[in-house]
Structure 1
Amino acid sequence: MPLVVFKDNQRISALILRFFMLGASMSYFFLMPQALQKVFGFSPLMASISFLPLTVIQFIVSLYIPRLTARFSNTSVLISGVVVDTLGFVLGSVIGINSGYWWGVAFPMIFLGIGQGLIMGPATVAGVAGTSGEIAGAASGVVNTFHQIGGAVGLAFISTMINGLKGADVMIDQAQFWMVVLAIIMTVAAINILRGKHE
């Protein structure tokens, strides 16, 4: 792997962003369905259906990415998505699952869906931006590597932080707090893209 991939500020910031975004998101996708079943008594099918506010909105938003980036720039869309995604995690953590599904889960999911819809495409573009033909393939591979490892490391970290807590509601609310921490790091990495290239 050519280390020159990591010399560009936009690329390294996008990789860090993607790492922590997947850390928070994969933890949410893994832990929230379990919480929905234990707190609300949802069946596995109902728990999956309850993710529709997130997944449907994410799908719809992603369809508008080409037009949005053409109008506002890739970086602007990416940072906007990161801010909205972080807001979704904050709302989930602050409101709490005991507020009920619609207010405590579905409402934050709307922001998570918008944010993730705005992030994924632009983050990929930023992760391979400015690469020459010689390193384009390596840069793309690094993007996917950070994607996969970020999800695994984030889930392991958050699972460790909530290990031993009693009650599914307490566990998911505490997990969402740590998702906010990861999302804040993601936000800092996104803003760092504005600094331009490292010399």
Structure 2
Amino acid sequence: MAAFDIRKQNVQTSDPFNPLLTLQTGEVTSNGFEINIGGEVLPGWNLTGGYAYVNAFVSQDTTSIVNNKIPNVPPNQFTLWSTYELQEGAAKGLGFGLGLFYIDNRYGDLDNSFILPSYFRTDAALYYRRDNWRVQLNFENLFDVNYIKNATFDYRLALDPGRPFSVSGTFRIDF
């Protein structure tokens, strides 16, 4: 668990009137808390969860953006990841995982003129490990949800979409 109150001066942000230029704001503040918990529920079954609340805003400036929210910073984020690995038998070492990720609405620019919508994404994993090696398949965005990851240059016409459904594989040997 962590609580924080961070203040930074002269942070560069995109100019709300020209996204190709940057401005230095007087001071930005980020405060909130984060809590993470994880452990083994039963032999082979692990759960990890987390929640974060972040209040990020311009706290001092000579322009009208004081108290505006910092772009691309969601006030609420939630994650839950669960894995289960078989402990006995011929399939010992075979594991499955499921991850849930929630990102709240957030402003897309420093002027707070538009909002990026919240999204909920589901990931999964299938793996097998034995001795010093492991093979794994990861399935990101399992239900192929369309979502906006962030706004580049704090500009409504430069939105970065989240990855569509994708599969990646890894093979690892530890020496």
- Provide the TM-score with structure 1 as the length reference: 0.27
More strand by share: 2
More helix by share: 1
Higher RCO (C-alpha 8 Å, min separation 6):
1
Max Rg structure:
2
